[in-house]
Amino acid sequence: MKHTLQERPSSLLHIDGHAHRWTPKEARAKFRSGVSGPTAGVATGHTQANLISVPADWAYEMLLFCTRNPKSCPVLDVTDAGSWTTPLAQGADLRTDLPRYRVWEHGELVDEPTDVIDRWRDDLVSFIIGCSFTFEWALTEAGVPMRHIEQGRNVSMYVTERECRPAGRLHGPMVVSMRPVPPEHVAAAIRESSLLPAVHGSPVHCGEPSGLGIEDLSRPDFGDAVDAEPDDIPVFWACGVTPQAAVMASRPPFAITHAPGQMFLTDARDEQYRVA
């Protein structure tokens, strides 16, 4: 399965150069007012998360899918049916406070709005899933360069040939994010990310992308192509866009997700999820 939808151009045009200084509350307020764009580096030090909302009669299968595929879908919170709040972000509204959403009907992308108030349903159960942007602070502190942030781009994401463990009606391939890492920093990237299992943890693959069935790093399925330095090694982490690939493969009647790379900003601190 390969992603064929046309992505909206993703740039930091609407997120200013001071976004790393925003508080999560300030970031959510800006997104609620219509600001959008990739959130890598926004509100530095605070946990970012993926979002998927499904009808209640699919919620058990989604929870089971996440439980069976914890590298791709580490669950941070699950809401009650119809609720748009979470204790991870005081006063936040899951319907308005992400930069951009995706609305799915029978596995097809039908809209990419900046809020989903008009699309919200009383039977929706929302899953807040860990995001690899959360461990980027640890990699940066260890000296690992973040090429996508340096270049003002969204992280590169790819649909792989690795199938997730299915759960009832839900099935689909693993999606990965990729960061080019200089050889001397690969060990640090593996070590530091492994200490944050709640936000995908250690990489699932390093080196030749064909090992994941990825043919061309310059053509990501989600996000932006990121320029690597000549000696950089591509390092791949399981990605929270995996549930969107499952939606495309399994075709539930309705779902709402975040737009890839445009995440939910929580009040939690990144270090809260570090295990050592």
Residue 3 has what pLDDT? 45
CA distances to 83, 176, 206, 233, 239 from 186, in Å: 41, 17, 9, 8, 18
pLDDT value of residue 74: 96
The residue assigned the tokens 């740039």 is 11
Kindly report whether the global pTM for this prediction surpasses the value 0.85. Answer: yes
Q: Is the dihedral of CA 17, 22, 25, 26 positive or negative?
A: negative
- Structural domains of the chain, ranges and CATH numbers in brackets: 20-133+247-273 (3.40.1640.10), 134-238 (3.30.2040.10)
pLDDT digit string, tens, across residues 150-197: 998 999 999 999 999 999 999 999 999 999 999 999 999 999 999 999
Longest dimension (CA), the chain: 51
What φ, ψ does residue 126 adopt, rounded to 5°? Answer: -105, 135
Please, what sign has the CA dihedral across residues 129, 148, 96, 248?
Answer: negative
With a cut of 70, list the residues of the chain below it in pLDDT: 1-17
| Model pLDDT, residue 198 | 92
pLDDT for res 239: 96
What is the residue type of 156? S
CA distances to 111, 148, 224 from 5, rounded to whole Å, are 12, 22, 14
Terminal-residue alpha carbon distance, the chain: 37
* Token pair 């960061």 in the structure block, residue: 179
pLDDT at 16: 60
pLDDT at 41: 85
CB atoms within 10 A of CB 7: 17
In tens, the pLDDT along 101-128 reads 999 999 999 999 999 999 999 999 999 9
H helices within the chain, ranges in order?
24-32, 56-68, 136-141, 147-150, 186-194, 242-250
Query: Closest Cα partner for 257 from 41, 81, 103?
Result: 103
Residue at 222: amino acid letter: F
